Chains A and B, each alone.
Chain A
Amino acid sequence: MNLNGSVFISILMALFVVRALRNFLDLPARAPHLSRLLGYVWVPGVVLFVFSQIIGWKTDQLDELYLLFLMSTIALVLVRVQQYRPARTLLLALAPYLLYSFIELVSTFISLRLLKEYDDAFENSKGFAFIWLFTFVLIARNQKKHLDKERLERETEEEAKRKIEAYNQELEHLVTERTASLTLQTEELREALKELKVTQDQLIQSEKMASLGELTAGIAHEIQNPLNFVTNFSDVSTELLTELEEEQQRPDRDPGLEAELLRDLRQNLTKITHHGQRAASIVRGMLEHSRASTGERQPTQLNLLADEYLRLAYHGLRAKDKSFNATLTTDFDPELPPIEAVGQDLGRVLLNLFTNAFYAVQKRRQQQPEGYVPTVSVRTRALPGGGVEVRVRDNGTGIPEAVRQKIFQPFFTTKPTGEGTGLGLSLSYDIITKGHNGTLTLETEEGKGTEFIIVLPA
């Protein structure tokens, strides 16, 4: 009874080992079925005990048997979960002891003598198996720790990865949002740009109209002169006709006088035609100036263009300031070749330069009324290589350095609000440089005057 009762200690130990094993191998998660089965590890022990009591088998091998069973069970469990490396190590740890226990038990049953003969060897083997078991359990424990650490690291890594992924997703979402808002902004900007372009076209047109306004008075004056001639020569021709008729009625006709009257009449008709055409060409010029540029280049006589616009600009200013007067000098190169250009555009540039020149001399005259002769001159020169140079010079106020920097910028004007659009020189610059591949430069000295130089290539 006493001997057999020790099996209960083994059962307790088995429960303890099973619990440790469950923990160590994390059995409930790894093999839940096995884990549950292991819970009944005590049953065979109890059954063994009851059976031995019934048959009255007294032996101290009972708990050896049970322990063998326990170890076998554990070995089986370990084989089942062998994918787990510490389990394999445990299996390796257990193998010698299991083998030893088995051999010992078997030899006990077969022959007690054999046991006695090899008692020392058995004792040594047992010690060795025990140390082996202990060592490998430690190794398995280390492996488990290592694996746990690895797992933990992996989990941390995965967590980090998840976080990164979540962050990525968030970022992608943000990017999508931003892209959408950027697209919207681009659309809005494109819309604004379109509006600006329309406005720019309108501004250019209104600049044209403003310069046309400056021209109007000049044009009116320029038209009035030829119209006066037309009227006057018509009137006087009627008088001449009356005189001719009277002469024809007289008995003593003077053929010399009649011939003279006829000659005058013919001459007058020629003059009427001439002045009528002069007025028509001015109107045509005005219409051309206000029309949108066709951008078509045609051979252009710069001398004629410069002369025409110089007069228009002069009379334009005269109409506004009756007291204003200036000396106009022209120095036209008779050898000037015709230049392929958009005449209407070049006309605008010249008009702008002349208007500015007159404005400058007018201002200087206001500052210095005595002994100052306002002078605006235009000079053309044929350049070697087929190009031409046009110089528009005034002896006006000159341009201060600070203003010179900005003079070709759009909307920059020194004139009072409402008097200048600030687009004249900027448009002129574009017409000469972009439109005709030429250059527009200036030389100026404060208090002495300014000279604008247009150079156009052949």
Chain B
Amino acid sequence: MKILVVDDEADVRALFEQRFRREIRSGVFSFSFAYSGEEALEYLHAHASEVVLILSDINMPGMSGLELLRQIRQEYDAPPPPAPPQVMMITAYGDETSRQQALELGANDFLTKPVDFSALKEKLLHLTDHDN
């Protein structure tokens, strides 16, 4: 399963690659990284059908995670061929308003920082099961 992680913090990459090293090694997950909303959209335009899940931070300079979510839902919600990607929002501001807003915009899930990686792994594996 191809997952696109969007976060303006570069070290997120090292963290994800280590947290999911077993899954990456075994080929269950494959990760791509984008450091801004704009970069994420570009990546999606190039690899639209590959990306199954997007994990995006909300608070980023420039295009915010919510704006990215809105655009993704606008562009990719047309009925298949490619199924629309799942989008999970991750934010340091875990308040109810943000959650509501994210869900209204079409987020599949809402996680707060610090990310509970074992819970996230569970969710991702669950998704993979569904996919298969």
Contacts and interface: CB of A to CB of B under 8 A. Distances in A.
Interface residues of B, number: 23
Contact of A319 (B11, B18, B63, B93): B93
Interface in A216-249: 221, 224-225, 227-229, 231-233, 235-236, 239-240
A328 interface: yes
Main SS class of interface, A: helix
Contacts of B115: 228, 232
Interface string B85-96: 000000011010
B93 A318 contact: yes
Contacts of B97: 322-323
Contacts of A232: 15, 19, 114-115, 117
A315 B92 CA distance: 11
A420 to B, nearest CB: 24
Contacts of A323: 97, 101
Contact of A267 (B14, B19, B101, B114): B14
B35 to A, nearest CB: 14
Contact of A322 (B14, B18, B95): B95
Interface in A174-199: none
B102 to A, nearest CB: 11
Contacts of B67: 325
A275 interface: yes
Given A231-B114, A232-B117, A268-B18, A328 B61 contact: yes
Contacts of B66: 325
B113 A228 contact: yes
5 contacts: A224-B92, A229-B11, A232-B15, A264-B18, A327-B62
Given A227-B114, A228-B115, 15 more contacts: A221-B92, A225-B9, A229-B11, A229-B15, A232-B114, A232-B115, A235-B117, A236-B15, A239-B18, A240-B18, A267-B14, A275-B11, A322-B95, A322-B98, A325-B67
